[in-house]
């Protein structure tokens, strides 16, 4: 009885085997009909050049109908060729490129110069066709003469204000410079800064060059004054480095390789700034409230001879220029009739067709803003109570960590016509409950009539709490809006709960602005202005990363003044304090008292090429 069952099981197993074998043969056959099988590791290797015609570094290359063919080991693509590929020295017309099979063909719309060394820079334009793996910063060199120039200059481009690297800046070299060569002439050699602000200008002669850098926004290889960032070196520089294989300046690095990119030698640092334009005219004007408006000028230091608003007495107009005198905000401190427009008659110094600033009359029509429908509805506060329409809202800044230096800062949207600060009370209380009525002073900001600072006459005491009480209707602005009552309580932090940093400033021979900023340099925690050797304390610091930024202030305007190309004047300098290991970021742990010594003269030595710019 068991034998038939065994034969049946055998037949079933054999049938399953046949079906599996047939399926495998079928799938194997299908896989082989469509090329390479899918799967496996992702291709991360950039294309490789296997042939170049003419060969790289060739001499006596024809100057007419020149053609370069680069052949790769795989199919490639060109990314933004018009933007990334450029010739050094440049021509009026950019090189033309096309893909032919696994090759890239380059031609030149203009004849090349004789006896000239050229460097064809591809930037990040070359990449494989499948995964887009780029060949970073490949440069093809050749000469139309008997010799091949073989010197190079390297450096770093930094924003003068932030000290961060600037990408895509054209670095232009001139053999026989004039005062305006960067505006009117094509350079003798050119390169561009990469993601790290690094540049390397190749195939140079061993002769002096004037070196400029500009953000070539319209790709004409010339500096357009007033619209583009610019920088320059003070003196002519002669290349001293000879090109040879394996030189780190010439390496093709991945921009993601931070260590390798930062390790490249940098001979010079160029600081970028934007020149002040001299063309003066009104660029914009607008009413931002029923009684407030602004006018913006194209250039700083606007000169106004007449300013009249029809129907408004001149003594009822409150005006406030910004720090650079290129923006004017004004308010009408009077009840004005409801009307569609206000007419402003202004006479100011405007640039004419000859480039001279001459008194010019203009009539500006100002339209009050239209109130939105949702703003007409009664507004509710967080407790559901209706907010009165004539409520004067303002901000009060009182950070316990910075109040010793900053005080209480009041900021109003529009100017006050009444401010009874004498009705405000400031009461301090010790940990034992001893209270004291503090006397204080109030100063209106000279550059902002809507800002006031209140400081007690007696210094703040760590551990005390302070209660500031502001009664109702103490303030009234130009709209006749008044404030609600407000109470603010702060407790100064104790030194046991925070860290601090002390800076010992030496060799201070001018006026400087010293700031403690965040790691990204986008936030200022504390600021000091110094004119001589001193010790600066930065208390109540949280655990974190900081930098110390020091700015020249030669003319005591607390502004970072730009340079001038034609006047050969560099911008006011900004530097970051650098630790002995070359880092500009200071890590502060909890409950730490850090002391740093800064030699300001050494930091600002113009000839220094130290690591504070990294």
Please tell me the predicted confidence (pLDDT) of residue 609: 42
Dump pLDDT digits (tens) for 539-586. 889 899 999 999 999 888 888 999 999 999 999 999 999 998 888 999
Residue count of the chain: 614
User: Which helix H or strand E contains 28, and what residues bound it?
Assistant: helix 2-31
Q: Where do the domains of the chain lie, and which CATH numbers do they carry?
A: 49-143 (2.60.40.1220), 151-272 (2.60.40.1120), 282-366 (2.60.40), 379-493 (2.60.40.1220), 497-613 (2.60.40.10)
Give pTM, 2 decimals: 0.80
Dump pLDDT digits (tens) for 399-444. 998 898 899 999 999 999 999 999 999 999 998 989 999 999 999 9
Task: Kindly tell me the burial class for residue 205, based on how many C-beta atoms sit within 10 Å of its own C-beta (0-12, 13-18, 19 or more).
Answer: middle
Beta strand 151-159 pairing with 268-272: parallel
With a cut of 60, say whether residue 215 has pLDDT above it. Answer: yes
The phi and psi torsions of 30 (rounded to 5 degrees) equal -65, -40
User: Which helix H or strand E contains 171, and what residues bound it?
Assistant: strand 170-174
Please tell me the predicted confidence (pLDDT) of residue 382: 76
Mean residue pLDDT across the chain: 89
490 within 8 A of 398, measured Cβ to Cβ: yes
Please tell me the predicted confidence (pLDDT) of residue 341: 87
Prior bond to 54 cis, omega within 30?
Answer: yes
Please tell me the predicted confidence (pLDDT) of residue 463: 83
pLDDT: which is higher, 134 or 376: 134
Beta strand 394-397 pairing with 408-412: antiparallel
Q: Residue holding tokens 């009117």?
A: 184
User: Whole-angstrom Cα distance, residue 536 to residue 519?
Assistant: 20
- Pair of tokens at residue 215: 């953000």
Dump pLDDT digits (tens) for 36-85. 344 555 667 889 999 999 999 999 999 999 999 999 999 999 999 989 99
Please compute the mean of the pLDDT values over residues 336-346 and round it to a whole number. 83
Which of the 8 DSSP states describes residue 57? Answer: T
Q: With bands split at pLDDT 50, 70 and 90, how would you rate the model's confidence at 594?
A: very high
User: Whole-angstrom Cα distance, residue 491 to residue 428?
Assistant: 10
SS (H, E, C) 406-447: HCEEEEECCCEEEECHHHCEEEEECCCCCEEECCEEEEECCC
């Amino acid at each position: 009885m068991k034998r038939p069952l065994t034969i049946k099981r055998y037949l079933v197993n054999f049938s399953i085997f046949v079906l599996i074998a047939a399926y495998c043969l079928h799938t194997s056959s299908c896989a082989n009909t469509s090329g390479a099988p899918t799967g496996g590791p992702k291709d991360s290797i950039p294309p490789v050049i296997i042939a170049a015609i003419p060969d790289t570094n060739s001499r006596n290359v024809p100057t007419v109908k020149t053609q370069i063919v680069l052949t790769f080991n795989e199919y490639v693509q060109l990314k933004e060729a018009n933007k990334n590929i450029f010739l050094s020295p440049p021509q009026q017309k950019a090189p033309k490129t096309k893909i032919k099979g696994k090759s890239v063909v380059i031609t030149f719309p203009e004849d090349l110069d004789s006896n000239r060394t050229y460097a064809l820079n591809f930037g990040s334009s070359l990449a494989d066709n499948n995964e887009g793996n780029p060949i970073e910063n490949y440069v093809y060199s050749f000469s139309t003469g008997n010799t091949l120039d073989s010197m190079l200059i390297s450096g770093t481009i930094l924003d003068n204000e932030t000290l961060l690297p600037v990408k895509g800046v054209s670095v232009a070299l001139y053999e026989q410079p004039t005062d305006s060569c960067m505006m009117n002439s094509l350079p003798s050699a050119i390169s561009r800064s990469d993601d790290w602000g690094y540049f390397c200008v190749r195939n140079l002669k061993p002769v002096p060059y004037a070196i400029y850098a500009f953000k070539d926004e319209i790709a004409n290889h010339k500096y357009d004054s007033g619209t583009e960032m610019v920088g320059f070196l003070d003196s002519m520089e002669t290349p001293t480095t000879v090109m040879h294989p394996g030189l780190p300046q010439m390496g093709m690095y991945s921009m993601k390789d931070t260590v390798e990119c930062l390790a490249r030698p940098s001979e010079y640092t160029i600081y970028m700034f934007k020149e002040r334009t001299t063309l003066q005219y009104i660029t914009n004007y607008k009413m931002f409230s029923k009684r407030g408006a602004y006018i913006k000028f194209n250039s700083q230091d606007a000169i106004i001879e007449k300013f009249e608003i029809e129907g408004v007495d001149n003594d009822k107009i409150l005006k406030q220029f910004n720090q650079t005198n290129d923006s004017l905000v004004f308010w009408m401190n009077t009840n004005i009739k409801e009307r569609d427009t206000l007419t402003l008659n202004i006479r100011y110094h405007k640039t004419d067709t000859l480039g001279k600033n001459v008194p010019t009359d203009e009539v500006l029509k100002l339209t009050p803003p239209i109130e939105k429908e949702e703003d007409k509805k009664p507004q509710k506060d967080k407790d559901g109570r209706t907010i009165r329409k004539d409520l004067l809202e303002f901000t009060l800044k009182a950070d316990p960590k910075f109040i010793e230096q900053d005080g209480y800062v009041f900021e109003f949207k529009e100017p006050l016509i009444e401010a009874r600060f004498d009705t405000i009370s400031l009461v301090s209380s010790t940990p034992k409950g001893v209270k004291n009525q503090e006397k204080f002073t109030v100063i209106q900001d000279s550059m902002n009539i809507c800002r006031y600072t209140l400081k007690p006459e007696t210094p703040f005491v760590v551990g005390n709490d302070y209660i500031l009480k502001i009664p109702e209707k103490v303030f009234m602005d130009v709209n006749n809006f008044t404030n609600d009552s407000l109470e603010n309580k702060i407790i100064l932090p104790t030194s046991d709960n925070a860290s601090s940093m002390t800076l010992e400033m030496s060799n201070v021979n001018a006026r400087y602005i010293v700031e403690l900023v965040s790691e990204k340099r986008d936030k200022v925690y504390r600021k000091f202005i110094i004119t001589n050797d001193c010790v600066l304390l930065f208390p109540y610091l949280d655990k974190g990363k900081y930098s110390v930024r020091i700015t020249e202030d030669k003319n005591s305007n607390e502004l970072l003044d730009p340079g001038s190309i034609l006047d050969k004047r560099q911008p006011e300098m900004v530097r970051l304090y650098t630790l002995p290991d070359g880092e500009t970021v200071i890590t502060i742990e909890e409950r730490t008292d850090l002391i740093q010594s800064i030699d300001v003269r050494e930091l600002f030595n113009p000839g220094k090429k130290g690591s504070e710019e990294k």
